[in-house]
Structure 1
């Protein structure tokens, strides 16, 4: 199982063709989106994050069930967190989050679910309290169990404020990951010297860094290797869930290539790594071609 740990919320997305600011409520949140994308690509996927018992939570739980994603977390009476989405003329999304006293913070300090071969953490759940402390502890337990660890920090400065708690937490967690997926914007927020930071993570033992560059493509880094791949040529409807879909694509492709451990990652031939990245970029591009975080099914990818 590939287990995705973090927030699930409702994205309030501008409804196409409607005037007056009409908003469409769609389940979202980085780790949730990644779990859905993984399941659609054929993975055995799980999600670990508290889900509300309110109306939106019922919609989220039904979506997880319909997609075949296993839910490994309690239901809670706390309301579902919200993210109001605004889109610029190019379809790039910006978010305003409403998270206080919501289900985001209701995950108890419970033992991790058994059987996760890969565990992904990330999103705003690492940047807020008290949920950040709970997810960091879960990260340590998953790592101790032998899972391959993946982090997508998905930095949202608007919701984490000055970010000192987040910086401290990520300084502890990121060097302990096997795979890091982050954007150039994430990297700029995390370090004043991005290239030195990349080298430091690799020196600390990170096996693969996937650095997305928007329209400029993608960098793949591991010890002794620094590849730049061009971006897929697309005209996006919006970018909601694109990075989450990329994470799912690369993890599923690597899993199908036999990835089960850090040693497998280090031994992966460059050609197979390129194929995994190409596949992941196609998954992300298809997600951008339609409204909201709506990742493709495997059959759509040929």
Structure 2
């Protein structure tokens, strides 16, 4: 199973002058997308006993995602108020003292033997104690299991930029795959081109650095020449969940190719990377074609 560890929340999405509550969260969306693509996936994050907790659990169950590692808590679910500008999503978070934010390093369980990779990222990396908890998960298991990291940086959510940069540096050094959007790269290295910034990240230790750019497609930086995959042309409803779905497609492809392991990633080829980028782009194109974070099911994917 691929374990996704990180935030789940309720996106309050604008609709007809009001807001519609939808299950979401960067890492949560990736877990849902993996399950819908037919992958064995598990999820680790506290789920509230409030009514929104049931809203979050239902899509996980429907997608076949294992939630045995999700503790239940009486703390409230995080809310994210979404505004859309030209189809681009912007967020305001209501997170203080929430179910997920209060996850502590001591709450991280020993992982089952059938976990074969870890995916982590999102706003769960920013505040403590939950950021320290995710860091502890990777520190304890990263030598044995491949780790994919997508920080999905939200600058307005970061209150201590120096501490956050230090945590990202530690996590990037432990990760095997790091995915960064153009906005992420600009925040990390504001005076570098995206390509130069991605190469600087690669120099910190990952096997793969995936650089995404929406309509510009995706580029993988690794030990060989960069691998490029174009975006799939589609009519965009909004971009909510696009990067999260891309992550799931990449992980699904790597697992299906038999290279989602420490040894497999160490010996990966350009052709295998291209296949992973392509599946990620295909899955993301379906997500952006419909409102909200609504990743494709396996039967909706190109044959």
TM-score (normalizing by structure 2) = 0.93
CA contact (8 A) 2:79 2:95 kept: yes
Contiguous gaps of at least 5 residues in structure 1: none
Question: Residue 119 of structure 2: SS of its match in structure 1?
Answer: strand
Contiguous gaps of at least 5 residues in structure 2: none
Partner of 1:203: 203
CA distance in 2, matches of 1:152, 1:79: 25
CA distance in 1, matches of 2:61, 2:111: 17
Partner of 2:173: 175
Question: Residue 178 of structure 2: SS of its match in structure 1?
Answer: strand
Question: Residue 234 of structure 1: SS of its match in structure 2?
Answer: coil
Determine if the alignment matches structure 1 residue 7 to structure 2 residue 7. Answer: yes
Partner of 1:273: 273
Question: Residue 104 of structure 1: SS of its match in structure 2?
Answer: coil
CA contact (8 A) 1:5 1:121 kept: yes
TM-score (normalizing by structure 1) = 0.94
Determine if the alignment matches structure 1 residue 60 to structure 2 residue 59. Answer: no
Partner of 1:73: 70
CA distance in 2, matches of 1:181, 1:259: 17
Q: RMSD value over aligned CA atoms? A: 1.5
How much has 1:65 moved relative to structure 2?
A: 1.8
Relative to structure 1, the CA distance from residue 203 to residue 164 in structure 2 (aligned partners, 3 Å threshold; closer, same or farther) is closer
Per-residue CA distance 1:90-117 (angstroms, 9 max, x = gap): x111111110011122324232421311
CA contact (8 A) 2:251 2:260 kept: no
Determine if the alignment matches structure 1 residue 106 to structure 2 residue 105. Answer: no
CA contact (8 A) 1:127 1:163 kept: no
CA contact (8 A) 1:180 1:210 kept: yes
How much has 1:294 moved relative to structure 2?
A: 0.5
How much has 1:195 moved relative to structure 2?
A: 4.5
Determine if the alignment matches structure 1 residue 31 to structure 2 residue 47. Answer: no
Partner of 1:160: 158
Per-residue CA distance 1:221-273 (angstroms, 9 max, x = gap): 10122123322212211100000000000100110000132331232332222
Partner of 1:131: 130
Per-residue CA distance 1:108-166 (angstroms, 9 max, x = gap): 4232421311101100010112211111111111214x111110000011111352221
CA distance in 1, matches of 2:110, 2:161: 27
CA contact (8 A) 1:242 1:288 kept: yes
How much has 1:285 moved relative to structure 2?
A: 0.6
Aligned length: 296
CA distance in 2, matches of 1:80, 1:22: 20
CA distance in 2, matches of 1:184, 1:112: 35
Single out whichever of 203-212 and 180-189 deviates more from structure 2: 203-212
Determine if the alignment matches structure 1 residue 140 to structure 2 residue 136. Answer: no
1:44-55 to structure 2, matched below 5 A, reads 44-55=40-51
CA distance in 2, matches of 1:186, 1:103: 26
CA contact (8 A) 2:152 2:184 kept: yes
CA contact (8 A) 2:138 2:174 kept: no
Single out whichever of 71-80 and 102-111 deviates more from structure 2: 102-111
How much has 1:197 moved relative to structure 2?
A: 4.2
